[in-house]
Each structure stands twice: as structure tokens, then as C-alpha cells.
């Protein structure tokens, strides 16, 4: 029996993780649930799974049918991450944005294995997280289709034989548009991802291709492969979720439907591949696979991820925070699509961040400072 602590339970990944847990209810017991602002959905989940400890983003009265421990805000997430149980513990982080970092840190320090959807954690603090994972001897498993595919392709292999990782990118909502056609696009268009149904932030990150920049950084820390051996490629159908090329010319690929239940189940039940009714199966007939070069001219945000890497540790926090604020503003109709990349670039140009010591506290403080400054500057 594994004890599950799921934060971000009301979101896209959170709800799909619950489907997997329902299907394997003899293996999992839900001990902790973290919800954000969607109280109605959160209450339904809580009443179904009856976790012992709950965290809610804002203070409120949940009026539950039983009496669990309830905490609120960022502190509530930390208390949930620290809560102990007697079985093997798995902390499933399905939070979005920088809010996911501190809960991961505390869960590792509380000796929990981590199934990580919150990619922002690795983007801003991958090296610190890896050190903690080693120090506390816990497992870190990715919940991201590309990284789950790479994990499959590396299974049983020797890393010194790896020529490169090849991360596929669908191209997002505007994959067939030229840059000049994007000037006045609306959030409703950007939110129409052709293959995946995901939360709003990552759907915009896919349209700007910032998501792929994040995934390169994520891959580096998850698999300990240098950046010059991590490539990205356009693959519009999202059938090949990613590949590993070996030195002898063999390319291993993991194929599947665009259904996150599958990578979620792999992370929760690693390394097993038993039957999964909640995951959509891929039909191999009539498949055509297309691959094209992914250009940073067409998608500057991918280039900005590399720019942040060049500028050093703390600039990954600058990259993430400026993106987080810009995407929020775009989703609130306060800026245009191209302003997202403009805001990120402007922030990365600032030298004032370069002497900030790279540690978890400074990453979090700086992230919220940048987010709040940008929201104030462009908000009304
Ligand atoms: P969603 O926006 O759908 O869900 C986010 C979840 O986090 C919700 O439960 C939300 O609560 C909760 N939340 C947000 N802010 C806070 C906060 N400050 N305190 C407590 N809870 C909070 O996002 P996704 O599920 O799409 O994405 C989650 C993570 O997974 C992201 O990092 C994303 O990049 C990554 N990912 C997602 C994929 C997908 O298919 N969706 C694929 C690969 C990676 P509420 O809704 O109740 O307000
Ligand atoms: Mg992905």
C-alpha cells in the first residue's frame, strides 16, 4: 500500500491522478489532498477519498462530514508535505507555477518519494532538488509525457551510450500560423491546444513554446544529460512523446495517445505497465509521423530558456517568474500575445539579479517580487 499526498488535486493533472488512484484503489490510500480555489470540486474529492490532512489555498469553512486536519495557504501545503504516515509515501505535486517549489522541498525532507508534474520546481531549482533527493534518498519521477517517454527509453540502458535526448513539441495552438498572424490572437485561440487538454497556464506555455524550454531544463536535471545533448523537434501529432538516440544510431521512441493518465500511472506505479482502463489506447493504423526543425526565430521563448541558462542559476527563476506573470496578464486580457515574450526578454536583460545568492529562499522571494512587480506594471 502506497500513501498518496496529492496537491493540486482539483486541476487537470490532479483529477487524472485521481482516476489512476481509483483504478488501483487496492494499491493506494489517499492521505493528503491539497486544493486551490475550486472549493466545490475540492469538497467532492475530499468526501470521496476522506484524506487525513487537507490544505486549501484560502481560508474558508469546508463543512465536511468528518473531521480531518485542515490548513490553509502556503503554510497548509507545507504541513501537508510534512505529514507522516506508516506506509511508503508518495507526494504527487500537480500544482502550477512557483507555488509548487516549497511543497516539493518539504516533502523530500519528510522522506517522501516525489511524482512531479510541477515542472517549475525543476526549472528554477533542479540542482538544489537533485541534491536533496540524494541527501534524503528518495525517488523523483516525472509526470510529463516527454520525460515519461525518455524514462521509458533509458530503461536498462547505460547513459554513456546516449548520443542525445530528442524532446518532441506539438507546436501548440498556433503551430500552423506565421509570426505575423499572431499579433492580435486572443486567449480563446491560444487555449485551443490541438492535441492535449491541460490547465490554462501550460496551454499558453505550449503556444509560446516556453513549455519546451522548460522541458529541456527539466530533462537535464531528471536524467543528468548535458544541455548540448538535449534536442527539440516539432512533431505536430504528439504521438511520439520523445526519443533517445544512442551512439550506434539506434533511436528508441515511446509512442502513445495524448492522454496524461498513462504517464501519471507510470510515475505512480513505476516501473509497472499493467492494464490501465482510464488511459486512451493508440491505434497504430493510419499513423503518419511528421518531424520538423523547431526554430527559436519562430518561437523566441525557447531561445529565452537557453539565454537564462547562459546567465546562470538565478536567471532560471527570473525566466519562470516573468513568464508566470506574463501568462497571467495574457489570460486576464491585459496584454497581447507577443507581450509575453517581450516581458520575459526585458526581465532577463536586467543585471541587477546576477549577484543574488542561489538558494530556495531567494528563488521564492525573487520569484514573487518579479511576479508582483510585473503584475503591477501591466495590470490596471
Ligand atoms: P491546472 O491549472 O489545471 O491545476 C493547477 C492546480 O493547482 C489546481 O488544483 C489549483 O487549484 C492548484 N493551485 C494553483 N495555485 C495554487 C496555490 N497557490 N495553492 C494551492 N493550490 C493551487 O494545472 P495543470 O494540472 O495543467 O498543471 C499542473 C502542473 O503540471 C504544471 O506545472 C504543468 O506545467 C504540469 N503539466 C501539466 C500537464 C497537463 O496535461 N495538464 C502535462 C505536463 C505537465 P484550483 O483549481 O482549485 O484553484
Ligand atoms: Mg510535456
Distance CA 137, CA 146 (A): 25
pLDDT at 6: 98
Integer Cα distance of 221 and 235 in angstroms: 23
Under 8 Å between Cβ of 190 and 337: yes
Query: Could you give the angle at the alpha carbon of 228 between the alpha carbons of 222 and 229, nearest 5°?
Result: 60
DSSP state of 295: -
Number of Cβ within 10 Å of residue 38's Cβ equals: 14
Distance from the CA of 308 to the center of ligand 1, in angstroms? 24
pLDDT at residue number 196: 81
**Per-residue model confidence as pLDDT tens digits over 19-48:** 999 999 999 999 999 999 999 999 999 999
111-137 burial, b if ≥16 CB within 10 A, otherwise e? ebbbbbbbbbbbbbbbebbeebbeeee
| 61 Cα: distance to centroid of ligand 2 (angstroms) | 36
Tell me if 104 CB under 6 Å of ligand 1: no
Classify strands 88-93 and 69-72 as parallel, antiparallel or unpaired.
unpaired
CA of 147 to the centre of ligand 2 (A): 7
- Distance in Å, CA 339 to ligand 2 centroid: 23
Residue 326 Cβ inside 6 Å of ligand 1? The answer reads no
Residue 144: predicted pLDDT: 95
Q: So what's the pLDDT on residue 195? A: 86
145: left (phi over 0), alpha (psi -120 to 50) or beta: alpha
- Give the global pTM: 0.97
* Cβ–Cβ < 8 Å for 28, 21: yes
- Decide: 255 and 162 in contact? Cβ < 8 Å: no
pLDDT, position 380: 64
Intervals of the chain under pLDDT 70: 380
Q: Which ligand is nearest to the CA of 117?
A: 1
> Tell me, what's the pLDDT at 379?
77
Which tens digit of pLDDT belongs to each residue from 51-85? 999 999 999 999 999 999 999 999 999 999 999 99
Judge if the beta carbon of residue 99 lies within 6 A of ligand 1.
yes
**For residue 118, which atom of ligand 1 is closest to its CA?**
32
- Alpha-carbon span 294 to 288, nearest angstrom: 19
What are the cell numbers at 90? 508518495
Q: What is the pLDDT of residue 110?
A: 98
Q: Which pLDDT score is estimated for 217? A: 97
Is 300 exposed, middle or buried, given 0-12, 13-18 or 19+ CB atoms closer than 10 A? Answer: buried
Q: Within 13 A of 239's CA, how many CA atoms are on the CB side? A: 13
DSSP 171: -
With 0-12 / 13-18 / 19 or more C-beta atoms within 10 angstroms meaning exposed / middle / buried, residue 229 is middle
Other Cβ atoms closer than 10 A to 202: 23
Q: Count CB atoms within 10 A of the CB of residue 225.
A: 18
Identify the H or E element spanning 335: none
Kindly give the number of the ligand 1 atom that is closest to the alpha carbon of 14. Answer: 25
Give me the count of residues in the chain.
Answer: 380
| Distance (Å, whole) CA 94 – CA 5 | 10
3-class DSSP assignment, residue 139: coil
Q: Which of 15, 42, 56, 95 to mutate to test the pocket of ligand 1 (most atoms within 8 A of CB)?
A: 95
Q: Does residue 11 line the site of ligand 1, with CB under 6 A? A: yes
Ligand in nearest proximity to the CA of 13 = 1
Instruction: Choose among 28, 82, 88, 26: nearest CA to 55.
Output: 82
Asked whether 144 lines ligand 1 (CB < 6 A), one says yes
CA atoms within 13 A on the CB side of 185: 23
Nearest ligand to the CA of 258 is 1
Query: What are the backbone dihedrals phi and psi of residue 218, each rounded to the nearest 5 degrees, phi first?
Result: -55, -45
Rg (CA), the chain: 20
Give 233's strand partners: 168
Q: Residue 95 C-alpha to ligand 1 middle, in angstroms?
A: 4
What's the pLDDT score for residue 121? 98
Report how far residue 97's alpha carbon sits from residue 294's, in angstroms, rounded to the nearest whole number: 25
Our answer on whether the CB atom of 202 is closer than 6 Å to any ligand 1 atom is yes
Q: Which of 10, 199, 209, 216 to mutate to test the pocket of ligand 1 (most atoms within 8 A of CB)?
A: 199
Tell which phi-psi region holds residue 112, choosing left (phi > 0), alpha (psi between -120 and 50) or beta: beta
> pLDDT at position 368, please?
98
Amino acid at each position: 500500500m502506497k500513501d498518496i499526498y496529492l496537491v493540486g488535486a482539483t486541476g487537470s493533472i490532479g483529477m487524472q491522478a485521481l482516476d489512476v488512484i481509483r483504478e488501483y484503489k487496492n494499491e493506494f490510500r489517499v492521505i493528503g489532498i491539497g486544493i486551490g480555489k475550486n472549493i466545490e470540486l475540492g469538497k467532492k474529492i475530499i468526501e470521496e477519498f476522506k484524506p487525513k490532512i487537507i490544505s486549501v489555498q484560502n481560508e474558508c469553512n469546508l463543512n465536511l462530514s468528518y473531521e480531518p486536519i485542515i490548513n490553509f495557504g502556503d503554510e497548509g501545503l507545507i504541513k501537508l508535505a510534512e505529514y507522516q504516515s506508516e506506509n511508503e509515501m508518495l507526494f504527487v505535486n500537480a500544482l502550477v507555477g512557483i507555488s509548487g517549489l516549497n511543497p516539493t522541498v518539504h516533502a523530500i525532507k519528510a522522506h517522501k518519494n516525489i511524482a512531479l508534474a510541477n515542472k517549475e520546481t525543476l526549472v528554477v531549482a533542479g540542482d538544489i532538488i537533485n541534491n536533496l533527493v540524494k541527501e534524503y534518498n528518495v525517488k523523483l519521477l516525472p509526470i510529463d509525457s516527454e520525460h515519461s517517454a525518455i524514462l521509458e527509453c533509458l530503461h536498462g540502458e547505460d547513459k554513456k551510450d546516449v548520443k542525445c535526448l530528442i524532446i518532441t513539441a506539438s507546436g501548440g495552438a498556433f503551430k500552423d500560423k506565421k509570426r505575423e498572424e499572431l499579433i492580435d490572437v486572443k486567449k480563446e485561440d491560444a487555449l485551443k491546444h490541438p492535441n492535449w487538454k491541460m490547465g490554462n497556464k501550460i496551454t499558453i506555455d505550449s503556444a509560446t513554446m516556453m513549455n519546451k524550454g522548460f522541458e529541456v531544463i527539466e530533462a537535464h536535471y531528471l536524467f543528468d544529460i548535458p544541455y548540448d545533448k538535449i534536442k527539440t523537434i516539432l512533431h505536430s501529432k504528439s504521438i511520439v512523446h520523445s526519443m533517445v538516440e544512442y551512439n550506434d544510431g539506434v533511436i528508441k521512441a515511446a509512442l502513445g495517445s495524448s492522454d496524461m493518465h498513462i504517464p501519471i500511472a507510470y510515475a505512480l506505479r513505476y516501473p509497472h505497465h499493467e492494464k490501465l482502463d482510464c488511459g486512451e489506447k493508440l491505434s497504430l493504423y493510419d499513423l503518419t509521423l511528421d518531424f520538423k526543425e523547431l526554430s527559436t526565430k519562430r518561437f523566441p521563448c525557447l531561445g529565452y530558456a537557453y539565454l537564462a541558462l547562459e546567465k546562470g542559476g538565478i536567471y532560471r527563476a527570473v525566466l519562470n517568474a516573468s513568464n508566470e506573470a506574463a501568462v497571467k496578464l495574457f489570460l486576464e486580457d491585459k496584454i497581447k500575445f507577443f507581450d509575453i515574450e517581450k516581458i520575459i526578454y526585458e526581465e532577463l536583460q536586467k543585471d541587477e539579479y546576477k549577484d543574488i545568492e542561489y538558494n530556495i529562499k531567494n528563488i521564492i522571494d525573487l520569484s514573487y517580487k518579479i511576479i508582483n512587480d510585473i503584475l503591477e506594471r501591466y495590470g490596471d
